[in-house]
Chain A
C-alpha cells in the first residue's frame, strides 16, 4: 500500500524565517517517485519537484531545498528566508512502480508567512 503522511497541519512563521515541511511515506515498491506541489489560495496545484527513489541527492532551487532520506522514508522540504508569497498549502505525493500513474497525496501542510 502507498501512504503519505504530513503530520504538520498548519505552520506559521514570520517573514525571513526558515521553515521545514515534513513528509513521511510508505510504499512496498522499490522504485517510486516523490513529489511536492504548492496550492496557493487561488486553488491551482503547482508542481515544485519530482524525485526518483534511486536518487538520494538533496536538491536546491533558489530558496527551496529538499532532503530525501530513504533510511527514514522522508522527503522534507525547506524554504529559506520565507516570504509572504510562500503562504499556501503544500502537498507531498508518492507514486510507485506498481502504478506510476496513481498519485497518493498527503493531507497537506498549510504555511502562513506573516510580514
Chain B
C-alpha cells in the first residue's frame, strides 16, 4: 500500500509569511507525528496525534507553530510569521497504534528567506 506522503516537497517563503505543510498518513494508522530535522541533525519531535486530538504537543517550539488533524487522517502543520530559523526539513510519520514503529514520509524542505 501507499506510504506516508507529504506536500509540498519543497517550500520557499519569505520571512514573516504563513505556511501550511500537509501530511497524508498510511491508511488506517491512528497515530501521526511531526518532526523537524535541521541539517546534520536527527529528527526532533514536534507533536503527536492519536486520532483527531493532539496527545502531545510538547515539542512545538512556540505559539507560531500549530497542527491539526480534523478527521483523524490528513494533518496540516501551520507556521505563522515564519522566521529564518524555521528553515528545516519537516517530517511526518504514522504508526498503527502509537506503540509501534513509526513510518516516515519524504519530508517537506522549508526555506525561509
Interface residues in chain A, defined as those with a beta carbon under 8 Å from any beta carbon in chain B? 4, 35, 37, 42-47, 50, 91, 93, 99-108
- Interface residues of B, count at CB 8 A: 28
Q: Are A100 and B101 in contact (CB under 8 A)?
A: no
Q: Are B42 and A43 in contact, with the CB atoms below 8 A?
A: no
Picked from B93, B103, B107, the residue with its CB within 8 Å of the CB of A43 is B107
Interface residues in chain B, defined as those with a beta carbon under 8 Å from any beta carbon in chain A: 31, 33, 35, 40-45, 48, 50, 55-56, 58-59, 89, 91, 93, 98-107
Are the CB atoms of B56 and A45 closer together than 8 Å? no
Shortest CB distance A39–B (Å): 9
Q: How far is the CA of A100 from the CA of B55 in the complex (A)?
A: 12
* Number of A-B residue pairs at CB separation under 8 A: 56
Residues of A within 8 A of B59 (CB): 102
Residue numbers in A under 8 Å from B40 (CB-CB): 107-108
Asked whether A101 lies within 8 Å of B55 as measured between CB atoms, the reply is yes
In the A-B complex, the 4 residue pairs with the smallest Cβ-Cβ separation, listed nearest first, are A105-B42, A45-B104, A44-B106, A101-B48
Q: What would be 14 A-B contacts, judged by CB atoms less than 8 Å apart?
A: A42-B106, A47-B102, A91-B42, A101-B98, A102-B45, A102-B48, A102-B59, A103-B33, A103-B43, A104-B45, A105-B43, A105-B44, A107-B41, A108-B42
> What residues of A have a CB within 8 angstroms of the CB of B35 in the complex?
103
**Separation in Å of the A68 CB from the closest CB of chain B?**
16
Chain B residue contacts of A50, Cβ below 8 A: 100-101
Q: Chain B residues with Cβ under 8 A from A4's Cβ? A: 42
Q: How far is the CA of A50 from the CA of B96 in the complex (A)?
A: 14
Please state if A43 and B43 are interface contacts (CB–CB under 8 Å): no
In the docked arrangement, what's the CA distance between A103 and B17, Å? 30
Contacting residue for B56 out of A47, A102, A105, A106, CB 8 A: A102
